[in-house]
Amino acid sequence: MSKRVENIMVIPIPKIKKPIKASDYRPINVLPVYEKVLELVVKERLEKYLEENEVLTEHQSGFRKSYSCETAIQGTIDEWKVEIAGRKMVGVIFMDLKRAFETVDRKRLLGKLYQIGIRGKMLDWLRSYLHNRTQKVRFYNLYSKLMAINHGVPQGSVLGPLLFILYINDIIEVCPKGSNVKLFADDTMIYVSGESSEELNKKLNESGAIERK
């Protein structure tokens, strides 16, 4: 497989209307066309493998073909209505992973890729894709120095979103029994039901503990 470009230009895109601090911006990689085409080829092969082997959890609705976050939310609301109609209480925890793409541990990600059966040239290419990346930031007419990036998956890339949902794919395994989980890319929603407020609070506390795992 062809090699990808190693030196990337990054442009900060405002997350809010009037950004003040660095965290108010989202760093987006500006990729040349040939890099995007190459990533698209790899992404399609990887998606085919994941689909054929049913790797991705059914609880994930973000960044996936034939999956809709809107449909998942509506289905969840319908489930809540059933619980409430049965005179149960429903509690919900919403979690938003800060700097989700930037904090991915690449070594751990490659280990997870190996565990699901990604081997040989594909794994070698993905290792090359993730490692030895350098970037400089352009902010209006100002440029930063070239710097090495040793963690995360690139935002604004074709492959980044798929690699990210693969990285968090096993989050379901650390969720307590009896909890219901919905994943919308880097947003996680956990909901539980109970006969009383005491039971509900106990389940919510157990479910909230996964944020520390």
Is 182 domain-assigned?
Answer: yes
Residue with tokens 């989050």: 171
- Give the least confident one: 33-37, 113-117, 130-134, 206-210: 206-210
Q: What one-character DSSP code corresponds to residue 21?
A: S
Q: Is the pLDDT of residue 213 over 70?
A: no
Q: How confident is the model at residue 148 (pLDDT cuts 50, 70, 90)?
A: confident
Q: What is the pLDDT of residue 140?
A: 87
Residue 1 lies in a domain: no
The token pair that represents 197 in the structure block = 């407020």
Structural domains counted in the chain: 1
* Total count of residues recorded for the chain: 213
| 34 φψ region: left (φ > 0), alpha (ψ -120 to 50), beta (else) | alpha
Q: Which two three-digit tokens encode residue 41?
A: 């080829």
Q: Is the pLDDT of residue 5 over 70?
A: no
Residue from 46, 30, 64 nearest 135 by CA: 30
Distance of CA 124 to the CA centre of its chain: 22
Structural domain contains residue 2: no
Dump pLDDT digits (tens) for 168-183: 999 888 887 778 889 9
* pLDDT tens figures, 32-90: 888 889 999 999 999 999 999 999 998 898 888 878 888 888 889 999 999 999 999 99
The mean pLDDT value for 191-213 works out to 80
For residues 210 and 122, the model is more confident at: 122
| CA-to-CA dists, residue 20 to 23, 67, 127, 140, angstroms | 8, 35, 36, 15
Tokens of 64: 């996936």
What residues make up the domain containing 70? 7-212
- For residue 2, pLDDT beyond 70: no
Contact call for residues 102 and 151 (beta carbons, < 8 A): yes
Is the residue at 180 inside a domain?
yes
Amino acid letter, 203: K
Query: What are 191's strand-pairing partners?
Result: 92, 180
Q: Name which residue leads in pLDDT, 206 or 163.
A: 163
pLDDT mean across residues, the chain: 87
3-state class of 182 per DSSP? strand
Q: How confident is the model at residue 165 (pLDDT cuts 50, 70, 90)?
A: very high
Q: Is the pLDDT of residue 212 over 60?
A: no
| pLDDT at res. 43 | 95
